[in-house]
Amino acid sequence: MLKCGNMKSVADNITVLSNEPMSGHTSWRAGGLARRYVRAKSLSALAAFIATLPEDEEVLWTGLGSNILVRDGGFNGTVIATQGLMTQLELLDETTVYVGAGVADAKLARFCGRHQLSGAEFFAGIPGLIGGALAMNAGAFGGETWPLVVAVETLNRKGEITKRQASEFTYSYRHVAGPKNEWFVSATLKLKKQEQSSGAVDIKRLLARRAQNQPIGAASCGSVFRNPEGQYAASLIEQCGLKGRRIGGAVISVKHANFIINDNNASATDIESLIKLMQHEVEAKYGIVLQPEVEIVGDALPGEQQS
């Protein structure tokens, strides 16, 4: 278990925070300490820093912290904060967009709308950055990230940036596989030209639908579970009578059963316990094992079990 005692060092456009509470960097507002939390002022500075890390150092990249839960015992590795980095966003030709991994998904949706490009509207409903969307093939409203991808740039442990074609990766629902120990820096996307300037209208319609059906503004990670094939996780959880169920400060949303809300200073343990309860109840009733969409990392507190 990591102990409090935050220290800060700054060198060569890199800021390193020691024993940094991850509760301040995740949308769940919960979680233990990161042994090292790193911010860089430039991609070149980050690449140089990455190259200094030991080969066995566990590295976690985070953007807005909207799809991660750090256990209360903390993360005994290095967290790379990408917010504010890799923010390039430009039109390469009439239907091709270059987007950095640090660009907010919603910003990409608006950019494409302004340039009368269709296919990226669904990004408006994803509360994260493009890097995370690439890593998990994020999607919403029936759209997914990787069908749009032509090429990507990645950064490896040696600090080297490589351009790769989309064909070098395989993807499926909320899953992407490709070269090991590489992290996404950017993507080149291919979209379609709209006949009329309706992108802004489409985005507003999708956001209104999201606000109606999801607990927007509450401390959550978005959807906790992937949808099983042919099923909806929220429906299965609701049919188990779990809406409103609480463990400590964590509660299953009464508005959308696939959301867990930090309602009252929930610990990461409270949230993970509720995740396990949802899995147990759905499997007991339907024989379906729900797979988390959220990434759970780090160590449990002494005396607690971790899955």
Q: Are 145 and 133 contacting, i.e. CB atoms less than 8 angstroms apart?
A: yes
Catalytic residue among 23, 220, 223, 267: 223
| 174 tagged catalytic | yes
Which one, of 138, 102, 145, 101, lies nearest residue 120 by Cα?
Answer: 145
> What angle do the packed helices 105-114 and 199-213 form, to 10 degrees?
150
Amino acid at 215: P
Cβ neighbourhood burial of 11 (10 Å; 0-12, 13-18, 19+): exposed
Nearest-5° angle of CA 166, CA 122, CA 206? 175
Read off φ and ψ for residue 150, nearest 5 degrees: -100, -45
**Alpha-carbon span 242 to 282, nearest angstrom:** 10
Token output for 32: 């233990």
**Alpha-carbon span 138 to 118, nearest angstrom:** 17
| 29 tagged catalytic | no
| 66 tagged catalytic | no
Cβ neighbourhood burial of 4 (10 Å; 0-12, 13-18, 19+): exposed
Catalytic residue among 174, 245, 253, 281: 174
**Alpha-carbon span 198 to 239, nearest angstrom:** 38
Catalytic residue among 153, 272, 281, 293: 293
Return the active site residues.
Answer: 174, 223, 293
